[in-house]
């Protein structure tokens, strides 16, 4: 138990496990992409950054609250860096937002609006990745993945499956099943937890149209076309 100064207000903390929880307790809404209290803390997105009185910035989800701590959640510097992080994420992201299945409920899209990211100054130099449509229920689109690892931790820690993981390094880093397998070749049980936790459209539920295309593409499926009889109007 102790007290922290947050944006000039004295806030008491008790058993909050990180600074982010104390910030939320104070009613301050700072953006996050990779923090979920029910899975382990990963500290990947850095959007929850705050700064202390010395100007040291740190991810509030990954720092324990300490008695006497002073932090600022919304200084000009922090706002500028948060905006830059979203711009960099969008730079390496497929930008078909208007036709994306997640449009309207994508957290990255919402943050871009909220933080005023209207233009992207950086070029996306990555080659487009192939979609994984092998699963009967999910579509994995690596072009929309922001490497937050939310799906990896949900699959591993909540479901105990571990169908997804990190592969490669640096700009080649990806989230995918091990050994370059397709989702259908893993132990995935189609629970959809990865989709629930994915903040973007990198993992989506197959739509009815996707399922019809899958069925038509299967050479073992026999399709019988039915033509409705013409209706004569008297």
Residues near ligand FES, by CB under 6 A: 32-35, 43-48, 59, 61
Helices in 53-207 by DSSP H: which ranges? Answer: 76-91, 107-115, 150-153, 193-197
For the bound state, the minimum distance from the C-beta of residue 20 to ligand FES, rounded and expressed in Å, comes to: 6
Q: Which residues contact 93 (CB under 8 A, 6 or more apart)?
A: 108, 124, 143, 144, 146, 200
Rounded Cα distance between 209 and 214, Å, is 9
For the bound state, the minimum distance from the C-beta of residue 34 to ligand FES, rounded and expressed in Å, comes to: 4
For the bound state, the minimum distance from the C-beta of residue 185 to ligand FES, rounded and expressed in Å, comes to: 30
Compute φ and ψ for 4, nearest 5 degrees: -125, 150
Q: In terms of CB distance, is 89 or 203 closer to ligand FES?
A: 89
Residue-wise burial string across 69-107, b where 16 or more C-beta atoms lie within 10 A, e elsewhere? bebbbeeeebeebbbebbbebbebbbeebeebbbeeebb
**N-terminal to C-terminal alpha carbon distance within the chain:** 82
Q: In terms of CB distance, is 82 or 140 closer to ligand FES?
A: 82
Q: In terms of CB distance, is 132 or 153 closer to ligand FES?
A: 153
* Helix 76-91 and helix 107-115, axial crossing angle in degrees, nearest 10: 140
Beta strands (DSSP E) in the chain are: 2-6, 9-13, 49-52, 57-59, 70-72, 138-140, 165-167, 174-176, 203-205
For the bound state, the minimum distance from the C-beta of residue 30 to ligand FES, rounded and expressed in Å, comes to: 9
For the bound state, the minimum distance from the C-beta of residue 227 to ligand FES, rounded and expressed in Å, comes to: 55
For the bound state, the minimum distance from the C-beta of residue 175 to ligand FES, rounded and expressed in Å, comes to: 15
Compute φ and ψ for 210, nearest 5 degrees: -60, -45
Q: In terms of CB distance, is 157 or 210 closer to ligand FES?
A: 157
Q: In terms of CB distance, is 82 or 195 closer to ligand FES?
A: 82
Q: In terms of CB distance, is 31 or 162 closer to ligand FES?
A: 31
């Amino acid at each position: 138990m102790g007290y922290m100064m947050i944006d000039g207000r004295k806030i008491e903390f008790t058993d909050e496990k990180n600074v982010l929880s104390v910030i939320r307790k104070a009613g301050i809404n700072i953006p996050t992409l990779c923090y979920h209290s029910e899975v382990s803390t990963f500290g990947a997105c850095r959007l929850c950054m705050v700064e202390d009185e010395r100007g040291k910035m740190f991810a509030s989800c990954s720092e324990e609250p300490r008695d006497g701590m002073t932090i600022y959640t919304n200084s000009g510097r922090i706002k500028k860096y948060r905006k830059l992080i979203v711009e960099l994420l969008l730079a390496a992201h497929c930008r078909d937002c208007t036709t994306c299945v997640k449009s309207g409920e994508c957290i990255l899209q919402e943050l871009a609006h909220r933080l005023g990211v209207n233009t992207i100054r950086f070029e996306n130099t990555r080659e487009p990745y192939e979609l994984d449509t092998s699963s009967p229920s999910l579509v994995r689109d690596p072009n929309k993945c922001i490497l937050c690892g939310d799906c990896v931790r949900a699959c591993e820690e909540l479901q105990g499956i571990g169908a997804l993981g990190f592969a490669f390094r640096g700009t080649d880093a990806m989230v995918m099943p091990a050994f370059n397998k397709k989702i259908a070749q893993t132990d995935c049980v189609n629970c959809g937890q990865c989709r629930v936790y994915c903040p973007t459209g990198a993992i989506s539920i197959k739509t009815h149209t996707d399922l019809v295309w899958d069925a038509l593409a299967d050479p073992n499926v026999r399709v019988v076309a039915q033509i409705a009889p013409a209706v004569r109007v008297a």
